[in-house]
Amino acid sequence: MTVQEAILARRSIRKYSDRPIEPEKLVTVLEAARLAPSATNGQNWRFIVVQDKEKLAELVQAADNQKFVGEAPAAIIACATSRRVMSCGQPTDTVDCSIAMSFILLQAQELGLGTCWLGRFNADLVKQICEIPEEVSVIAMTPLGYPAETPDPRPRKAPDEVIRFDSF
Mean pLDDT per block of 10 residues along the chain (168 residues) reads 94 96 98 97 97 97 97 98 94 96 98 97 98 97 97 95 95
pLDDT at 140: 97
Q: CA 51 to CA 154: how far, in whole Å?
A: 29
The predicted model scores a pTM of: 0.95
Beta strands 45-50 and 114-115: pairing type?
A: unpaired
Q: In this structure, what CATH number is given to the domain that contains residue 49?
A: 3.40.109.10
Sheet holding 74-80, edge to edge: 45-50, 74-80, 137-145, 114-115
pLDDT in the model for residue 123: 97
Interstrand relation of 137-145 and 114-115 (parallel, antiparallel or unpaired) = antiparallel
Buried b (16+ CB within 10 A) or exposed e, 2-19: eeeebeeebbebbbbeee
Q: Output the pLDDT for position 50.
A: 98
Domain membership flag for residue 104: yes
- Is residue 67 assigned to a domain? yes
Buried b (16+ CB within 10 A) or exposed e, 48-79: bebeeeeebebbbbbbeebebbbbbbbbbbbb
Q: How many domains does the chain have?
A: 1
Domain with 112 in it: 3-162
Is 95 inside any structural domain?
Answer: yes
* Distance (Å, whole) CA 39 – CA 21: 31
CB 142 within 8 Å of CB 82? no
Is residue 37 included in any domain, yes or no? Answer: yes
**Residue 109's closest CA among 24, 26, 11?**
11
- Give me the half-sphere count of Cα atoms (radius 13 Å) on the Cβ side of residue 144: 32
106 assigned to some structural domain: yes
pLDDT at residue 120 in the model = 95
Residue 131 lies in a domain: yes
User: How many residues comprise the chain?
Assistant: 168
> Does residue 64 belong to any structural domain of this protein?
yes
In this prediction, residue 2 carries a pLDDT of: 93
Residue 112 — left, alpha, or beta (φ > 0 → left; ψ -120 to 50 → alpha)? left
Does some domain include residue 167? Answer: no
Tell me what pLDDT residue 87 has. 95
Closest CA to 58 of 139, 127, 120: 127
User: How much is the pLDDT for 68?
Assistant: 97
